[in-house]
A = this chain, B = another copy of it.
Amino acid sequence: MTTMSNRYPSGPPARPTMRHVAALAGVGIKTVSRVMNDEPGVSEATRQRVLQATEQLNYELDLNAGNLRRTGRRTQSIGLLLPSVANPFSGEIHRAIEDALAPRGIAVFASSLDDDADRERALVSAFLRRRVDGLVLTIIARSQAYLMPETARQLPLVFIDREPVGLDADAVVTDNAEGAATAARHLLRHGHRKLAYLGDRPDIQTARERRRGFLEALGHEGIATSTIPAVDGLHDEESARQAALALLQSEDPPTAIFSSQNLVTFGAMRALRETGRGHEVALVGFDDFKLADMVEPGITVIAQHPDRIGAKAAERILARIDGDREPAERYVVPSELIVRGSGEIPPAN
């Protein structure tokens, strides 16, 4: 049945193709192709006629169709897998990558991992079906060996934040263990001996590294790590708040807390405020965040540099796309201790 009220009784105007442009300009289709792709060998007069036709028809080149036959088959797009596009840390990485790729005409498919291994597989597969020119991935699955056929096909691949397992590929990471060790030493230097660790899910590589770095540094300084309360599996603000609350209200509360991730830091901050101990118990958090210097006390953090991680990842994926076949490398973006007050509180008494 035909809809009578349709504003386009004969259907909407069809999207023009190169054929239409060619016909209107009175040239062959290949000439239009040359103009659209800025290829040489077209007289200026012809070029102008073609351009006028494209404007008159509102023609836009179809990149997908072109890539089908083009040697090298570039879709001018990459797949970017982030912890979550809603996470400010991810957002900054994303932005740095966009800034580096946009000038090259490469668009970014962005997806959220949610630290779910099944999603990782499904989203990577979705990227591959779209024949992206490269993959920049945050991962959670135990192994990335499933990507071996893709590395064999020389698909450019860069891992960010976490290193792949069972696969040799470029990775751009923060010095998680070293950053956490810096936090530990900072707290020790301010006299703390009763420290506590609040950490994320142990299936997350960075969480494991931070835990290891923190505890090892304490061990090196003669603290019996077995005495250190270490809570794992804190993945959001509320669980962190409750864990911190339990610690603070225990028999023998810590005089300093290290929180391994910004949501965990927020939870710890809330617990400290609820117990009125914000100025008594020291806190150092991994990850910097907005307004960290506007709360009372300011929060001392081990800051990561998502913009530099993103920029480096973009540089690597572009190099690989451009044919770089050097062995895979691991790039470490150093973290940075930012002193703001909470980490410099001495132990009570």
Contacts and interface: CB of A to CB of B under 8 A. Distances in A.
A139 to B, nearest CB: 18
Nearest to A122: B102
Interface string A91-111: 110110010001001011111
A227 interface: no
B85 A95 contact: yes
Nearest to A5: B325
State the number of copies, please.
Answer: 2
A94 B129 CA distance: 22
A94 B86 contact: yes
B294 A129 contact: no
Contact of A266 (B111, B269, B291): B291
B107 A130 contact: yes
Nearest to A110: B110
B61 A64 contact: no
Contacts of A105: 126
A340 interface: no
A88 interface: yes
B130 A63 contact: yes
B85 A111 contact: no
Contact of A85 (B110, B112, B131, B270): B110
B109 A85 contact: no
A267 to B, nearest CB: 11
A15 B153 contact: yes
A58 interface: yes
Contacts of A291: 266, 289-291, 294-295
B12 A153 contact: yes
A249 interface: no
Given A13-B149, A85-B94, 5 more contacts: A13-B152, A88-B91, A107-B127, A107-B130, A270-B294
Interface of A: 6-8, 12-15, 58, 60-65, 67-68, 75, 77, 84-88, 90-92, 94-95, 98, 102, 105, 107-112, 125-131, 149, 152-154, 266, 269-270, 273, 289-291, 294-296, 325
28 contacts: A6-B325, A12-B154, A13-B152, A13-B153, A60-B129, A64-B130, A65-B68, A77-B130, A85-B95, A86-B88, A86-B91, A86-B94, A86-B95, A87-B91, A88-B88, A98-B110, A102-B111, A107-B111, A107-B126, A107-B130, A108-B111, A266-B290, A266-B291, A269-B294, A289-B291, A290-B290, A295-B295, A295-B296
